[in-house]
Structure 1
């Protein structure tokens, strides 16, 4: 397995454990492995608060509300670099905590799910159409099973 370099930027105002960073790294690597992505790559992960993700969501998607995660795929196909820059993941820790409580599972599971979801977006998956949504959900659930974090 080729390990993906993950660049972390914690702007959430919250302490994040080394274990959480490792779980995010693992979720990215297992998603890429499941999708047979075997090129050396890099992903940027920014952990933010509700205010920042709301601002970003409004600016980039014209949706003026807080969301859980945003994905910014990098179209790196034209480059012959040794390392493929897949893109950026912006994950809202406040929203992840809120959703973990709402869905009755651990914060770690929610953070890993959002990471898997966002990594699939970086690979070109989407969920705008019902068929796309179904396919993406199947892939998410398979990777979450691999991570031993299935839906309860």
Structure 2
């Protein structure tokens, strides 16, 4: 955990579970992925002031471009791979989410390619995508410019707490109509 996000500040619900499934052998070892993801999720809960029920869980699936392309086509009618997909599992009546927050799925080849293109470390890009996916599970979106601005600002704050540079610094704000 970074110096900015202290363990005492955590807002993670009691008995929070991160379920990891590695479906492609290209990914780093599960323990490495778990460390990156735990840190990013901790920071997301603290910085975004998220609340979830005790015993809540998130499922993280590490797969390939081929597998995520099939999901993207089925659920978003887009016949191409993407870096991350989020499938919320909760639709809270009130302010609290859980117990199943949802599934976040990552495509190895796309994550690697994007990290290389941006000239950043793989772990920094994966951390960003974990944060991005978690925010989607809590109703953040980027379909409209105002939504995109709010979500990107939240991501910047969380990533700064992790010591990760602003991934949007050199990119224009564009809503995701893709």
Residues 45 and 135 from structure 1, CA distance in 2 versus in 1: closer, same or farther, beyond 3 angstroms? same
The alignment's TM-score, normalised by the length of structure 2, stands at: 0.78
Distance 1:53 1:43 in 2: 18
What's the Cα RMSD here?
2.1
Deviations 1:33-85 (A, max 9, x none): 22222333210000000100000000010000010000000125259xxx521
Query: How far apart, CA to CA, are the structure 1 residues paired with 2:27 and 2:64?
Result: 12
Q: Tell me the SS of whatever aligns to 2:28.
A: coil
Where does structure 1 lack aligned partners over 5 or more consecutive residues? none
How does the TM-score come out when normalised to structure 1?
Answer: 0.91
Cα distance in 1 for residues equivalent to 2:146 and 2:51: 26
Unaligned runs of at least 5 residues, structure 2: 1-9, 168-178
Contact 1:12 1:47 in 2 (8 A): yes
More helix by share: 1
Q: Which residue of 1 is the match for residue 43 of structure 2? A: 30
Which residue of the partner structure matches residue 19 of structure 1? 32
Asked if the contact 1:24/1:115 (under 8 Å) is kept, the reply is: yes
Deviations 1:89-115, CA, capped at 9 Å, x for gaps: 001111110000000100001100111
Runs of 4 or more, structure 1, over 4 Å off, are none
Number of aligned residue pairs: give it: 151
